[in-house]
């Protein structure tokens, strides 16, 4: 939209010692100028006035232009309406003259004398669309591509430079005339870039430039995209995510991994799971996350050279850019690990799953058969490999034994007592619920037994059903963590990556903590079987709010000192003044406080949810939300 005719803006213009302006030195100082731009006056008039004040021949003013001091883009009559007030510019050659001047050096036989300075200018100017198009029109690409060769042969990756790679990248992506696929020798250049990245022994700025080109080629659906995806090694890309590298290298490494996960086949996706299981890789990611949390996003750039240049090139990358890529990586990883199980219905003839169910019962009720830690690990490995052959079907048992088993299954919260494996037929969450329960049984045996025995002392109507609750918690977590939903790389994601990167067996640990939270909420609300969905709704809100509260930076949140108002209490006792019993929920998600409070008309269970309270009226058996 064009700027209003009476809307004048003020800008600053300063002199920059640039090789692109080769004029004789002047004794007159070139002081910065504050200019009021009138949209009705041509830019050439202002440039002529600046040249006159700075003792630059006015006759040459047509060869000069203003460029943004931070992004180095050229100001033209077509884009001048985008100038914000207070913007700072510097005087430069116009984009046409800049192209001619750079090509003069690139085509000379003595080019090596100007190598670094010319490519530095080309890299910065290449970010301007007008310059890039003019450069291509003047056949600049053929001179640029010659720099990748030596005596007609392609240079090795070590002989490429960051400025060379970045110049090529900027020119190609900022004009539409030439496609990556149409560049001469681009296939061999890609081979060298892939080889260099997989070697993982190159300087950080060099690697980030190479990854930037490969990322751009994949994004435009080039015919070379499949080749890049298949040959880049995820394990090596993960090496670039450690804190020793600069933010740009970390960003493009994560971005390439996510592209591979998005467009790659099942074999490539599985390789990510294997790579991230490596202790060193997980440590590197944890350190990267910690670096983001502290907000010291540029402290890891100190080890890189040419910092002023690198900071100019990564100005568009922020802390949130890395967060976005880490969120995507988490989504892909969780999907790869759990989507198949979530969408798999239980098979009554699957021995492995039937043995898991038997072990749940044995661990809960056969106290003389409780497993030691070592035997738990042995059982876990045997179940994982399907080597347990102890399953006895109910049809081969005597009736009293069948009755005892069914009674135990009922106390565990199974709905189908004859064939309990059928409880896991509904998808989602499918067999994933049973796998989570088995993890709970094996890795946190004491909490598992306590959960079961604590509820066994109650009537069936008052018991918190373990299996039914586990299925519900698994369903909730799958929904909150978007398992089974393919992430869109082009959308912003606000996921809970802090916990994912700092807790081993994240999903299973979240399941255990949330299942214990479900049981605790059940007790606080004095719920019975008909209240299951009400408790589920309250727990869902608690988990969801807790995850929102700890997103990225809030690793723990304490909610205290709230005033609870009950619509059932008398006007004189609306504000609770009696003693409040508070019990922190011991979860890895956050520190949420639950309250049991005596009001004037009875007992209420209260769960704090960030800025809100959920109150369960024991007598009326309904929830009340108080903000």
Q: What is the CATH number of the domain that holds 223?
A: 1.25.10
CA distances for 175 relative to 123, 132, 136, angstroms: 14, 6, 8
**Residue 396: what pLDDT?**
57
Which of 73, 93, 113 terminates a domain? The answer is 93
Please indicate, yes or no, if residue 553 is contained in any of the structural domains: no
Label residue 387 exposed, middle or buried (CB < 10 Å: 0-12, 13-18, 19+).
Answer: exposed
Helices (H) and strands (E) in the chain, counts: 24, 11
Higher-pLDDT residue of 36, 60: 36
Longest Cα–Cα distance of the chain, Å, equals: 110
pLDDT in tens, 254-264: 999 999 888 88
The verdict on 204 and 289 lying in the same domain is yes
The verdict on 144 and 89 lying in the same domain is no
Please indicate, yes or no, if residue 551 is contained in any of the structural domains: no
Average pLDDT over residues 160-186: 87
pLDDT in tens, 217-240: 998 888 999 999 999 988 888 888
The verdict on 274 and 402 lying in the same domain is no
The verdict on 277 and 383 lying in the same domain is no
Neighbours of 181 (CB within 10 A): 14
The verdict on 391 and 515 lying in the same domain is yes
**Residue 595: what pLDDT?**
40
Average pLDDT over residues 22-45: 78
The verdict on 184 and 73 lying in the same domain is no
Label residue 313 exposed, middle or buried (CB < 10 Å: 0-12, 13-18, 19+).
Answer: buried
Neighbours of 13 (CB within 10 A): 22
485 secondary structure, DSSP code: S
The verdict on 88 and 101 lying in the same domain is no
The verdict on 111 and 231 lying in the same domain is yes
Q: What percent of the chain has pLDDT over 90?
A: 18
pLDDT in tens, 65-124: 999 988 889 998 888 888 988 899 999 888 999 999 899 888 876 666 566 788 888 988
pLDDT in tens, 355-396: 898 888 888 887 444 444 444 444 444 444 444 444 445 555
Q: Which two tokens stand for residue 427?
A: 């998808």
Neighbours of 36 (CB within 10 A): 11
Please indicate, yes or no, if residue 579 is contained in any of the structural domains: yes
**Residue 66: what pLDDT?**
92
SS3 397: coil
Give the domain CATH number at 20. 3.10.20.90
pTM for the model? 0.73
Sheet strands side by side (includes 33-37):
33-37, 9-14, 88-93, 64-68
The verdict on 311 and 360 lying in the same domain is no
Q: Which two tokens stand for residue 39?
A: 């949209």
The verdict on 87 and 148 lying in the same domain is no
Please indicate, yes or no, if residue 344 is contained in any of the structural domains: no
Q: Which two tokens stand for residue 499?
A: 């916990």
Average pLDDT over residues 199-218: 81
Lowest mean pLDDT among 12-26, 380-394, 470-484: 380-394
Higher-pLDDT residue of 68, 24: 68
Lowest mean pLDDT among 306-310, 423-427, 497-501, 549-553: 306-310
- 8 Å CB contact between 135 and 174: no
**How many domains would you assign to the chain?**
4
| pLDDT above 80 (res 470) | yes
Report phi then psi at 32, rounded to 5: -60, 150
Indicate the Cα dihedral angle 341, 345, 351, 356, nearest 10°.
Answer: 60
Average pLDDT over residues 488-494: 69
Reported as a pLDDT band with limits 50, 70 and 90, residue 285 is confident
Q: Which two tokens stand for residue 324?
A: 């976005």
Label residue 227 exposed, middle or buried (CB < 10 Å: 0-12, 13-18, 19+).
Answer: middle
Which of 93, 114, 133 terminates a domain? The answer is 93
Share the mean pLDDT of the chain.
75
Please indicate, yes or no, if residue 563 is contained in any of the structural domains: no
Range of the domain at 436: 351-524
Separation between Cα atoms, residue 122 and residue 140, nearest integer Å: 10
| pLDDT above 60 (res 560) | no
Task: Render 410-448 in DSSP notation, one character per residue.
Answer: HHHT-S-SSSGGGGG-STTTTTHHHHHHHHHHHHSHHHH
Please indicate, yes or no, if residue 545 is contained in any of the structural domains: no
The verdict on 324 and 473 lying in the same domain is no
- List b or e across 185-213, with b for residues whose CB sees 16 or more CB atoms inside 10 angstroms: ebeebbbbbbebbeeeebebbbbbbbbbb
Hey, which of 40-44, 146-150, 349-353 has the most confident mean pLDDT?
40-44
Please indicate, yes or no, if residue 4 is contained in any of the structural domains: no
CA distances for 79 relative to 69, 75, 127, 440, 620, angstroms: 16, 6, 15, 62, 67
563 contacts: CB under 8 Å, gap ≥ 6: 575, 576
The CA-based angle 101-104-110, given to 5 degrees, is 130
Hey, which of 224-228, 311-315, 620-624 has the most confident mean pLDDT?
224-228
The verdict on 364 and 272 lying in the same domain is no
CA 332 to chain centre: 10
Indicate the Cα dihedral angle 157, 161, 162, 165, nearest 10°.
Answer: -70
**Residue 293: what pLDDT?**
66
Reported as a pLDDT band with limits 50, 70 and 90, residue 434 is very high
Bridge partners (DSSP) of residue 602 are 599
The CA-based angle 567-572-578, given to 5 degrees, is 85
446 contacts: CB under 8 Å, gap ≥ 6: none
**Residue 217: what pLDDT?**
92
**Residue 431: what pLDDT?**
93
191 Ramachandran zone, left/alpha/beta (phi>0; psi -120 to 50) = alpha
Reported as a pLDDT band with limits 50, 70 and 90, residue 151 is low
Please indicate, yes or no, if residue 335 is contained in any of the structural domains: no
Task: Render 457-470 in DSSP notation, one character per residue.
Answer: TS-TTTS--HHHHH
- 8 Å CB contact between 174 and 126: yes
């Amino acid at each position: 939209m064009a700027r209003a005719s009476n809307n004048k803006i003020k800008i600053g213009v300063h002199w920059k010692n640039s090789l692109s302006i080769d004029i004789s030195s002047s004794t007159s100082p070139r002081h910065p100028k504050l200019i009021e731009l009138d949209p009705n006056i041509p830019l050439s008039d202002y440039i002529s006035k600046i040249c006159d004040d700075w003792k630059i021949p006015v006759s040459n003013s047509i060869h000069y232009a203003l460029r943004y001091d931070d992004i180095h883009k050229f100001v033209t009559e077509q884009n001048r309406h985008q100038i914000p007030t207070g913007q700072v510019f510097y005087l430069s050659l116009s984009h046409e003259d800049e192209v001619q001047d750079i090509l003069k050096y690139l085509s000379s036989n003595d080019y090596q004398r100007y190598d670094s300075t010319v490519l530095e200018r080309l890299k910065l100017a290449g970010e301007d669309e007008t310059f890039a198009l003019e450069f291509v029109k003047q056949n600049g690409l053929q001179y640029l591509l010659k720099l990748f060769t030596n005596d007609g042969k392609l240079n090795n990756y070590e002989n490429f430079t960051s400025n060379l790679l970045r110049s090529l990248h900027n020119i190609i992506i900022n004009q539409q005339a030439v496609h990556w696929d149409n560049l001469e020798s681009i296939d061999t250049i890609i081979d060298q870039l892939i080889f260099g990245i997989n070697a993982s022994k190159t300087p950080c700025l060099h690697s980030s430039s190479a990854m930037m080109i490969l990322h751009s080629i994949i994004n435009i659906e080039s015919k070379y995209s499949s080749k890049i995806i298949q040959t880049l090694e995820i394990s090596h890309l993960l090496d670039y995510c450690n804190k020793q590298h600069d933010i740009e290298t970390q960003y493009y490494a994560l971005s390439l991994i996510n592209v591979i996960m998005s467009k790659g086949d099942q074999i490539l996706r599985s390789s990510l799971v294997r790579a991230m299981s490596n202790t060193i890789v997980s440590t590197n990611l944890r350190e990267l996350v910690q670096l983001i949390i502290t907000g010291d996003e540029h402290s890891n750039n100190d080890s890189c050279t040419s910092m002023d240049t690198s900071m100019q090139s990564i100005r568009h990358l922020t802390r949130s850019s890395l967060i976005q890529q880490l969120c995507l990586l988490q989504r892909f990883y969780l999907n790869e690990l759990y989507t198949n199980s979530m969408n798999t219905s239980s098979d009554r003839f699957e021995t492995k799953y039937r043995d898991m169910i038997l072990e749940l019962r044995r661990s809960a009720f056969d106290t003389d058969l409780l497993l030691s830690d070592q035997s738990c690990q042995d059982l876990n490995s045997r179940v994982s490999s399907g080597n347990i052959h102890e399953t006895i079907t109910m049809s081969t048992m005597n009736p009293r034994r069948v009755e005892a088993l069914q009674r135990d299954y009922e106390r565990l919260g199974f709905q189908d007592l004859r064939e309990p494996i059928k409880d896991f037929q509904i998808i989602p969450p499918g067999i994933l619920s049973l796998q989570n329960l088995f993890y709970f049984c094996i890795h946190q045996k004491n909490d598992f037994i306590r959960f079961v025995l604590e509820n066994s002392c109650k009537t069936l109507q008052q018991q918190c059903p373990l299996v039914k609750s586990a299925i519900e918690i698994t369903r909730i977590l799958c929904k909150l963590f978007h398992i089974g939903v393919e992430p869109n790389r082009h959308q912003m994601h606000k996921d809970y990556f802090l916990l994912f990167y700092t807790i081993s067996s994240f999903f299973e640990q979240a399941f255990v903590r949330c299942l214990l939270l479900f049981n605790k909420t059940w007790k606080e609300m004095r719920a019975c079987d008909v209240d299951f969905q009400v408790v589920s709704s309250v727990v869902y809100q608690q988990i969801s709010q807790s995850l929102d509260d700890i997103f990225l930076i809030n690793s723990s949140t304490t909610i205290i000192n709230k005033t609870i108002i009950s619509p059932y209490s008398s006007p004189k006792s609306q504000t609770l003044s009696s003693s409040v019993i508070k019990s922190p929920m011991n979860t890895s998600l956050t520190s949420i406080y639950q309250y049991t409070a005596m009001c004037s008309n009875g007992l209420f269970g209260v769960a704090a949810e960030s800025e809100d309270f959920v109150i369960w009226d024991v007598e009326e058996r309904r929830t009340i939300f108080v903000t």
